[in-house]
Amino acid sequence: MEDYRIRYEAWLASPRLDEKSREELLAIRDDETELKMRFGSTMEFGTGGLRSKLGAGTNRMNFYTVAQATEGVARLIESLGEDAKKRGVILGCDSRHFSAEFDRRCAEVLTAHGIRVYLFDELRPTPMLSAGVRHFGCIAGINITASHNPAEYNGYKLYWEDGAQPTGDVAEKVADFIAHSDIFEDVPAPDQAKEELITMVGADFDEFFLGKVMAEQVYPDAVRRDADELKIVYTPLCGAGYRMVPEVLRRIGVKHLYPVTCQMTPDGSFPGLEKPNPEYPAAFKEGIKIAEEVDSDPIIANDPDCDRVGVMARDKTGAFKCITGNQMGSLLLDYIFSALEEQGKMPADPYAVKTIVTSEMATAICGAHGVDLYNVLTGFKFIAEVIAEHERQGKGTFLLGYEESYGYMKGSYARDKDGVVASMLITEMAAWYELKGMTLIDAIEALYEKYGFYTENSAEIYMEGLDGADKIRGLMDKLRAEEPAEIAGSKVVNIRDYLAETSKNILTGEVTGTGLPKSNVLYWMTENGNVVVARPSGTEPKIKFYILANGKNETEAGENARACTHSLEDMLGMPHDSLKK
């Protein structure tokens, strides 16, 4: 009998399998493809935790896989001693189907091991979970969320004692404990929970968090001075930002806040949203309707767990236009630096952090303002490491950390991207520019005029199915073996393989280390400063590609981006214009 069949039959045979899951599995008994998808493998516990579609099976998010993952976390905490158990774990969740129930199951497993639990009384933004780890001195945090994935997904994010997602060592230990536990027999049943070890977290912590967010204002007078004119449309996309973001905007002085009513109630079905992702213009459809009615600008949207934020703003014609993650990061950098300088508050030792797949406009902006800029691998845990190292050394003033995928962080109360503080800063920045007679789109154009034109393309290739992981490995192997001599007609001068931890200078032949942790990422830079990056996703069955281009003007930058994309398609053996996001 095939391994997947053995696992399937073992689930059916377990007396601990609930009847609803049993019926679900019996209904697919003769569907070999579905059985292989659900039982052909197990979800791998990595630094991003777990993420998959909901459903019964070892490769799906369900009560049993969530409980087994938590058993792995509990065993690691037990191995650290009684103090770690007393410090406890804080639990949070978003609005997705079964998020609250999975959250409760985590609490049952942890307390059965004698581990203290802090449990939010309802859903909260992801950054509040990160902040809670630090505030309560927890050893860990667990957040049930699949971020911006479609409604059929859910996920499991682990945070460690610094409030950041863990690096490989912790994740590997958890994965090992999971591998050595039986998904049914070795996991405590719900009736083994110790309710006395659960502390509910509510309004008091909300006030603490809001205070920390508001302390990160850069130019507090901007919103108050512009309050009569400033109009903001806001949507949480049926997610966790529905309370905290409107509250912080009101507290900083926003008088005219227009919520997208049909998306203000948490709902894991995400009605009307094919993808609850603020990177996509379609997510703003309902917001645009309201903005047109009230003649407002801009529109702010959070993803369902409220760690990311997307914005649409009016261009010169009055039409709404998406501001990309790279553009918003550059806007926030320049705003923070300029507003602090305008007030005479720029610190003597400022620094910012971005990821290697984020626009190089940041380098130009930081250079012009005398701010140190650090480049790290994709993932806020790496941004958090830079902050932690500066704190250990007692030097540097952190001003902003961000990545191109719409995540921004300011302040040290959390160690993850924060859609609450970012929404506040974007609102403040919109007011600051409005007082100068400018929109956010005007501000972007001003940055291009000052620093040069930068543009980006991103694309992804999904490789789902039983052989998806093998296909992803095969494609990355192909790209490593066939190094390009040029991209878009410009000579490749630097090739970085972060898995091999090598950086090759093509002009000199010198090979050095990358200076960053090992990661399955390939990076090519051309003589004219354009960059192409390939990186498999850590949470979804796909490879992501990033094209970072520049030029003397907008037209040239756009042409370079298209030419780089075509070169990448040639490398992949794909027709031109077939590689799209």
Please list the active-site residues.
Answer: 147
> Which residues, in sequence order, are bridge partners of residue 350?
397
Q: Give CA torsion, residues 68, 70, 73, 78, to 10 deg.
A: -90
Residue 407 phi, psi (nearest 5): -115, 135
Residue position matching structure tokens 């850590």 = 538
Q: Using CA atoms, how far apart are residues 193 and 146, in angstroms rounded to an integer? A: 26
Residue position matching structure tokens 């949203």 = 273
Distance of CA 289 to the CA centre of its chain: 28
Q: Using CA atoms, how far apart are residues 410 and 329, in angstroms rounded to an integer? A: 12
- Assign 3-state DSSP to the chain and report helix, strand, coil percentages, each to 5: 40, 20, 35
DSSP 8-state symbol, 411: S
Q: Using CA atoms, how far apart are residues 188 and 467, in angstroms rounded to an integer? A: 34
Q: Using CA atoms, how far apart are residues 366 and 267, in angstroms rounded to an integer? A: 40
**Nearest Cα residue to 45 out of 224, 174, 180:** 174
Q: Pairing relation of β-strands 490-497 and 486-487? A: antiparallel
- Say whether 121 sits in a helix, a strand or coil: coil
Q: Using CA atoms, how far apart are residues 549 and 529, in angstroms rounded to an integer? A: 7
Residue position matching structure tokens 């079964």 = 98
Instruction: Identify residue 301 by its one-letter amino acid code.
Output: A
Residues 6+ apart with CB under 8 A from 69: 45, 49, 50, 156, 174, 178
Give the largest Cα separation in the chain, rounded.
Answer: 73
- Say whether 85 sits in a helix, a strand or coil: helix
**Nearest Cα residue to 415 out of 128, 50, 49:** 128
How far are the Cα atoms of 50, 130, 173 from residue 75, in angstroms, in the given order?
17, 21, 9
- Say whether 301 sits in a helix, a strand or coil: strand
- Please compute Rg for the chain using Cα positions: 24
Q: Using CA atoms, how far apart are residues 387 and 414, in angstroms rounded to an integer? A: 11
**Nearest Cα residue to 321 out of 291, 353, 347, 345:** 291
Task: Report long-range pairs for 29-35 (Cβ below 8 Å, ≥24 apart).
Answer: 35/4, 35/5, 35/8
414: its two tokens? 């959390």
343-357 CB burial, b ≥16 within 10 A, e <16: eeebeeebbbbbbbb
Distance of CA 113 to the CA centre of its chain: 31
Residues 203 and 121 sit within 8 Å (Cβ to Cβ): no
